[in-house]
Amino acid sequence: MAKILLVDDENEMLDVWNLFLRHSGHEVLKAHDGAEALEIAQTFLPDLIILDLMMPMASGDMVLGIIRSTPSLANTKVLVVSAHPKGAKLAVDLGADGYLAKPVHLDQFKTEVNRLVPY
């Protein structure tokens, strides 16, 4: 299964996604802000990063830019999940591999995760 890094400052979102992904057999780590996400990503080297855009301590768009410019992370799949009004455009402009608007339905979430890290 895949190594997945969840990045969101909303604990409820992290808990739901974490439970679902672990139940699906994935190895999951969580970060509550952008700075923590970058630190974990450098050592964990995830297959997929699920990233919120609006966070403290380095916004998601900044984090995605750094991911794409870091050689060890540049090819990591990134799924942006956000309530940002321009989230879809930002995700595309920054090179994300997918985008979901919050609130996310679990079926949509499952479909996107499976598309990005197939079994």
Q: What is the pLDDT of residues 60-88, one digit of tens each?
A: 888 999 999 999 999 999 999 998 888 89
Rounded CA separation 81/76 (Å): 16
Q: What percent of the chain has pLDDT over 90?
A: 79
Residue 119 in this model has a pLDDT that exceeds 70: no
> Would you say 56 and 33 are in contact if contact means Cβ atoms under 8 Å apart?
yes
Structural domains in the chain, sorted by start: 3-116 (3.40.50.2300)
Mean pLDDT, residues 35-56 taken together: 93
Residue 98 tokens, joined: 């997918």
* Residue 53 burial class via C-beta count within 10 angstroms: exposed 0-12, middle 13-18, buried 19 and up: buried
Mean model confidence pLDDT for the chain = 93
To 10 degrees, the CA torsion angle through 109, 5, 99, 94? Answer: -170
